[in-house]
Structure 1
């Protein structure tokens, strides 16, 4: 049985288009602490006893925390945001510093100042006065998201030998994280052309099945 974790804002088959018809989808909010999200995943997955858990980006963090309680499951992680394990890398540390500079604006109630830094970092292009009213709800939602660092994850906590990491080859931060996991014994495959959502690649299902069968 396969479990696919996705955000609350994206339906199961939109999050994981190659999932089998009998797959179980678990929706997790991105604005709750990782330990709470892990508890949600564990509660939903326990009756299923999954043999594989699929997770993407930040949600790979609670998926890994939950997997500690279900050690039989293998992990298929797409661009996992394990910034904690890659601190000291130039690209990772630069990203963390930029986000923390943006969040300093939130401490003073300056959402627009926050977005002026986050928008070009995460979405490309500047924050402009002409689009601010349209983008303000997204800025507010993004500001509530749990940061993907500060969770105490270490590379040797992640059972890397039973983990497949799939990246898109477009972002040095995620490639650095993947390389760190590869050093610990994980399997790493690059599927380019779909940015942060490598699970949309037409070969993703084949790559995942080959790993799970091996």
Structure 2
């Protein structure tokens, strides 16, 4: 049986590392590694993605909030050969589930503190949720810049993401088995046809798991048949 050539890979980062740094286990020559400006909106990122990939159907990889950009781009007309969603922060598709609503409520409370110019109050709420361990005055000067960035970064909900944009799209979803929010989102994606793989031991970065390349290779073989 002859196989079609594998589609071009495009990699989207999450809220932390950007470009190739977000995917260190991947060969830098294996695809296009996009890097969006830190202050760019989800809609601006989706527009840039649609424009850059208008003439081809890539296999699109997206980590965390990068999945929001990816699905928004699909809703805006981007055509893809497949999606590899790693710990996708698609909170909009899992609204109503208790872990999802709890997370949103805590972040909303923290953002309200930041809006009132209480950055330390913001960090005292967000740090335990996102990074573990309490905020302390002893560490505050070292962590202030990180707190400021998280107080202004894009939120992964409120973008009108709906699963109807994913119908008929081949999907591999990879989660780390450490956080019920991402596992819930993974199960919602299974409901619309995704294949879900759990790679434990690397928390929010299962793309660093040694079995990640094999999972991707199996998925891409299915696209090439």
Select which of 56, 60, 64 maps to 2:67.
Answer: 60
Q: Which residue of the partner structure matches residue 38 of structure 1?
A: 46
CA distance in 2 between partners of 1:9 and 1:113 (Å): 22
CA RMSD of aligned residues (A): 1.7
- Retained in 2: the 8 A contact 1:67–1:73? no
The two structures have a TM-score, normalised by structure 1, of 0.93
2:28 corresponds to 1:13: no
Select which of 163, 184, 187 maps to 1:179.
Answer: 187
2:210 corresponds to 1:199: no
Where does structure 2 lack aligned partners over 5 or more consecutive residues?
A: 1-7
- Retained in 1: the 8 A contact 2:86–2:206? yes
Q: Which residue of the partner structure matches residue 158 of structure 1?
A: 166
2:121 corresponds to 1:113: yes
Aligned pairs, number: 213
Select which of 75, 89, 96 maps to 1:88.
Answer: 96
Q: Which residue of the partner structure matches residue 3 of structure 2?
A: none
CA shift, 1:158, in A, is 2.2
- Retained in 1: the 8 A contact 2:11–2:33? yes
2:141 corresponds to 1:133: yes
- Give deviations 1:47-87, integer Å, cap 9, x for gaps: 5x243011100011111222342323211010000001101
